Structure 1
Amino acid sequence: MRAFFATCLSLLLAAVPATAGVTIDAFQTEGGLTVWHVEENSIPFVALEMRFQGGASLDAPEKRGATNLMTALIEEGAGPLDARAFAKARDGLAASFSYRVSDDTLSVSAKFLTENRAEALELLRLSLTEPRFDDDAIERVRAQVVSGIRSDEKDPSAIAGKAFDARIYGSHPYGSDLGGTLDSVAALTREDILAAFSAAVARDRLYISVVGDISREELGPVLDTLLADLPATGAPLPADATPVFDGETVVIDFETPQSVAMFGQPGVPFDHPDYFAAYLLNVVLGGGGFESRLMQEVREKRGLTYGVYSYLVDKNGADVWLGSVQSANNRIAEAMEVIRAEWTRMAEEGVSAEELQNAKTYLTGSYPLRFDGNGPIADILVGMQISDMGLDYIDTRNDRVNAVTLEQINRVARDYLKPDQLSFTVVGQPEGL
């Protein structure tokens, strides 16, 4: 059975050709659930994606890490099945379940064969409505989380990321690691885990997409049965964050041959009319691989790093423009100087027509490659719902990229790039800072 499942997974990559259009059927079930559905019958396989908005940001300050620990425990037994029995039942059905948490969402992914659909969905239903949270499972998973936290304490990249978040987000949940601290995780009780589950897993914050061998007529009743026992409402969503970028450099001493720097400034919301121009601008600046300006100036011309990157981050409660670089302790100051200079040059001079066209070609050419199977498509669809992109986004996305003019992108460079607010957090033993 598992060999057959692996074969189906490989076939899944060809289920929807990269160049094919994706026809989305958005409808509401009789039970009131909204679902985006793509019927694809070429193989007997279904991918289901669910997102519960809120995620780790729902943690109380003194209970940081509760949602993360709870999420890792969902498949550690449910209903009459302990962790071992649950895993055996899932594997026996050749099904795959995944539970993940981010700052803003709790994600549930399920993949199963058509012939085992009823049994797989019943097992999934148990995990979402009757998780056991047995004491032995809690202690086992807690130990894994603690091990990860201890590992991060020795990782300069993890230290830099956590310190940078704490600096720009302050007391907002984004400002602390979703995994919690050694002390907060050690103090979590089973009651805390049950409370985190009730806060995060509810119908009022649920987004659903399904791609594969199932019709609309079959899907509606299936989802209503699967999710009927979820509570109607969860905990209130957190307020928006107010990121602070002071333009300064903060150094955290850490014994390592290479320093790690996180840097950033305010970003651009996805729903803003200038977003696609900013997106293209970032490709030219630091998001376009080896052809980006930062990679060319910092790596190719000066050999200061193996990699330097920038990227737009659109969280539910904050929009930021971030980047990262690593360099030897005696060269990180120069790398940062070049980054600041390129940030300033782009703000003042903008981009060339050739750079804009190359960025458009890069983005529009790579976009169809994301639709390489039912699972990735389901993931894209549920992300579109959460971001309120609209049903036509897949068809219009490349047109919106191509519509950006040289005049617009250079105005966006002047308006949005803020060299005076570009803030760095450096972990290592940098010289000259």
Structure 2
Amino acid sequence: MATPKIQHWTLANGARVYFVETHELPMLQIRAVFDAGSSRDPAGKAGLASLTAAMLDEGAGKFTADDIASQFEGQGAEFGADVDRDMATVSLRSLSDTSLLDPALDLFATVLSVPSFPPASLERLRAQALVSLQKDAESPGAVGEKAFFRALYGAHPYAHDARGDQASLKAIAREDLAAFHRQYYVGANAWLVIVGDVSVQQARDIAQHVVGRLPAGRAVVPLSPVRELRAPVEKKISFPATQTHIYLGQPGMRRGDPDYFPLYVGNYILGGGGLVSRLAVEVREKRGLSYSVYSYFMPLRLPGPFLVGLQTKNDQSQKALKIARQVLADFVAKGPTDEELDAAKKHITGGFPLRMDSNGKIADYLAVIGFYGLPLTYLDDFIPQVEAVTADQVRQAFRRRVHPDKMVTVVVGGRR
């Protein structure tokens, strides 16, 4: 499989650019990524990063929200903005025809550099966010996931939900949005991804136009370390539902972790491989204790969570949790069989080309490579790295990194 050739350069203001030239379709994908995720929310104002990104296209320069929406639509372009715990991503998808691309890029650059944060839009988006939080409070899954992150990360910035909470959202003022944008949406804090039907010189011009004019600013300070769990933590939340939601986990791995590939392949066998995974076979197929059971690692800049999750009937919750713990402990102690490992490798490597079969997917990979400082050969190396994983490497990595006796357990349900 031929992987895309990645070209990389840095602008005068510190912004780092990653470019892949493809001409199969007359399209261009752009991702402007900033170290402006929810982990950068100031104390008492959780949700600020998310609101800032959501407000970018509510007004910028001389343009209103209606102007921005109608112009992008008229140019056949799609705009988007999203925030996770580590990063804010602002995206543009456009046709490469310069008569459409150039005005779309002009507007995209304006939205990135001079958002106006209209007060009326802030109140509307704040109200929408508060309604969304109320819906979360009525969902056992959302309640459980938020409780899991709080129990897992404590006072660390990864602990709170990216959308904040009711008190923090109400505390955010327009001036907070403007100050957050000034601090974090700067060249020293930016990565730009360009994938599509343009030449290298065009890509250089686009990069300069889109983020090269941002103030250089300063790179943000590193986040505080994630602390390992010293003892198990259990939290039970009574909730009126027929199903109990269970979350079991600990801090897992970071992007670029030396154990990444053994943990990644091993987790496919444990609970990431759907109905053929150990957890699904033991909890769901053999015993009928859960319709949905899974595990995953969520690598972040610092160790993101390793999570085992399942839903089960209220009266089966303790039995299902016991079996899930047994499966996890057995896998950590013994690792995979050779047959499981071989099947996992074939599935992962066989499906990898489908994960790069569009410009958008390639752009997503480049954003991860750039933001987390992964090698430019990451995509070339992926299949060989997976194929090189041995059963002993999986065993050793899980023994080093996963500790069944020191897990956070959150149980939500138990009340009809």
Return the TM-score normalized by structure 1: 0.91
- Specify the alignment match of 2:79 in structure 1: 97
Runs of 4+ in 1 over 4 A off after TM superposition: 29-32
Q: Are 1:381 and 2:366 counterparts?
A: yes
Check if 1:364 corresponds to 2:349.
Answer: yes
SS in 2 for 1:314: coil
Question: What SS does the aligned partner of 1:330 have?
Answer: helix
Counterpart of 2:146 in structure 1 is: 162
Q: CA deviation at 1:131?
A: 0.9
Structure 1 match to 2:410: 425
Q: Deviations over 1:257-302 (max 9, x none)?
A: 1111111024234434332111111111111111100001111111
Q: Which runs of 5+ in 1 are unaligned?
A: 1-18
Find the counterpart in structure 2 of residue 199 from structure 1: 183
Q: Which moved more, 1:215-224 or 1:235-244?
A: 235-244
Q: Is the 8 A contact 1:94 1:112 kept in 2?
A: yes
Among 51, 59, 71, the residue aligned to 2:53: 71
Equivalent residue in structure 2 for 1:411, among 372, 396, 404:
396
Confirm whether residue 150 of structure 1 aligns to residue 166 of structure 2: no
The alpha-carbon deviation at position 29 of structure 1 amounts to: 4.5
Residues of 1 paired with 2:362 and 2:320: CA distance?
A: 39
Equivalence for 2:239: 254
Alignment partners' CA distance in 2, 1:114 and 1:268: 38
Question: Larger deviation: 321-330 or 199-208?
Answer: 199-208
**Matched AA of 2:198:** I
Stretch deviating more after TM superposition (372-381 or 30-39): 30-39
Deviating more after overlay: 405-414 vs 57-66? 405-414
**Alignment partner of 1:53 is 2:35:** yes
Are the counterparts in 1 of residues 192 and 207 from structure 2 also a CA contact under 8 Å? no
Unaligned runs of 5+ in 2: none
Q: Which amino acid aligns with 2:112?
A: L
Correspondences of 1:382-397 after superposition (within 5 Å): 382-397=367-382
Instruction: Map 1:205-216 onto structure 2 (within 5 A).
Output: 205-216=189-200
Distance in structure 1 (CA, Å) of the matches to 2:415 and 2:396: 35
Matched, 1:334 2:316: no
Q: Rate the CA distance shift 1:101–1:380 in 2: closer, same or farther, 3 A.
A: same
Instruction: Determine what percentage of the aligned residue pairs are the same residue.
Output: 33
User: How many angstroms apart in 2 are the aligned matches of 1:417 and 1:99?
Assistant: 34
The corresponding residue for 1:3 is none
Per-residue displacement from partner, 1:112-147 (whole Å, max 9, x unpaired)?
112211100110011011112111111111111111
Matched residue, 1:62 = 44
Summarize deviations over 1:54-82 as a string: whole Å, max 9, x none.
Answer: 31111111111111111111111211111
Q: 1:293 to 1:111 in 2, by over 3 A?
A: same
Asked if structure 2 preserves the Cα contact closer than 8 Å seen for 1:58 and 1:199, the reply is no
Alignment of 1:295-310 (within 5 A): 295-310=280-295
| Distance in 2 (alpha carbons) for counterparts of 1:248 and 1:90 | 49
Equivalent position SS for 1:254: strand
- Picking from 89, 94, 102, the partner of 1:107 is 89
- Which residue of 2 is the match for residue 36 of structure 1? 18
Alpha-carbon offset, residue 237 of structure 1: 4.3
Count residues with an aligned counterpart. Answer: 413
Q: What's the offset of the Cα at 1:430? A: 6.8
Instruction: Measure, in 1, the Cα distance between the counterparts of 2:52 and 2:222.
Output: 18
Residue 86 of structure 1 corresponds to 68
* RMSD value, Cα: 1.8
Secondary structure at the residue paired with 1:63? Answer: coil
Instruction: Tell whether the 8 Å contact from 1:76 to 1:137 is kept in structure 2 after alignment.
Output: yes
In 2, are the aligned partners of 1:245 and 1:423 still within 8 Å (CA)?
Answer: no
